[in-house]
Structure 1
């Protein structure tokens, strides 16, 4: 049964929580898409995720990057090709092993991550500020637990200051 805004749910029912997370994810995807489009309309959400991963972990081997993205290596390779052409990433020989190639962000790639993140943060802050204070109680813990359960904490929960 749909709730009205401001109505507090004490549900631990997996279906009810799943429905609420799906609704929130639609909003967050829309915020992300708007933030990316405002900075560079040519970048897809998946490509931006690749940039964020590289920004968080640094130069990465191709196979490891594909694994972190959850895509097959050929898909990751096509994404990297497009981002190389856009000047946002470079392929370089791994200094530790001359036979390996690593993918790394360029200054332009870091700029895009910073600008998109700043826009997204600003829009999310406006949304959170419109929430009743009572609804914000426990939200940080719940979202961090959700992120951790999804295996994303090591990549995307880096503080904004770590991305600059």
Structure 2
């Protein structure tokens, strides 16, 4: 009987967390949509994802871009054609193999990624600023755990604290050792 109750509580916990993550996902999707509002006539959300990948990777082959986006090469080609037509990317020959073509962002494409990302960051920051500091730290820990469970790398600005059995904590003011020395924390969590 106790085992059934424990199993039911665990299922309720999973359902509650799932609902909370879905709600947060809707909020983040709305922030993303608002951040694209100024460029929505030129760039869709999937095309913006393409530009972000290109921004982070530099010159990239179409096949590698398709793999990064988890789409077929033909889908990536159609998306690339649209962002090229919008003046946000360009094709150039691969200097290592003249038979291959690389895709790169134009200066306009780079500015677009930067401006949309800045608006998205500001939208998220406005929400996060409404949280108490303790809630912010709990949110970082929860989101890092969620990302890890999905197989994603840790968020930039987080580090593994050697005194906390490998848990990460946000690197708000430098490494935890530096924070302890400066008296910001009595000890690592």
TM-score range, shorter chain: 0.7 to 0.9
Name 1:66's counterpart in structure 2.
66
* Cα gap change, 1:97 to 1:152, in 2 (>3 Å): farther
5 Å-filtered alignment, 1:1-164, equals: 13-153=13-153
CA distance in 2, matches of 1:104, 1:12: 47
CA distance in 1, matches of 2:156, 2:108: 20
- SS of the residue corresponding to residue 137 of structure 1 reads helix
Q: Structure 1: which 5+ runs fail to align?
A: 1-10, 160-164
**TM-score after normalising by structure 1:** 0.80
Q: Which has the larger radius of gyration?
A: 2
Deviations 1:62-112 (A, max 9, x none): 011011101111111110000000010111111111111111111001000
Asked whether the equivalents of residues 36 and 45 of structure 1 are also in contact (C-alpha less than 8 Å), the reply is yes
Asked whether the equivalents of residues 92 and 102 of structure 1 are also in contact (C-alpha less than 8 Å), the reply is yes
Name 1:8's counterpart in structure 2.
none
**TM-score after normalising by structure 2:** 0.70
Asked whether the equivalents of residues 56 and 158 of structure 1 are also in contact (C-alpha less than 8 Å), the reply is no
Answer with 68-77 or 13-22: which moved more. 13-22
Q: Structure 2: which 5+ runs fail to align?
A: 1-10, 158-189
Cα drift, residue 115 of structure 1: 0.3
Superposition CA RMSD, Å = 2.2
Answer with 104-113 or 141-150: which moved more. 141-150
CA distance in 2, matches of 1:74, 1:158: 32
CA distance in 2, matches of 1:60, 1:23: 35
Q: Which has the higher contact order (CA 8 A, sep 6+)?
A: 1
Displacement over 6 Å in runs of 4+: none
CA distance in 2, matches of 1:158, 1:91: 31
CA distance in 1, matches of 2:72, 2:136: 38
- Count of residues in correspondence between the two structures: 147
Name 1:3's counterpart in structure 2.
none
CA distance in 2, matches of 1:122, 1:87: 26
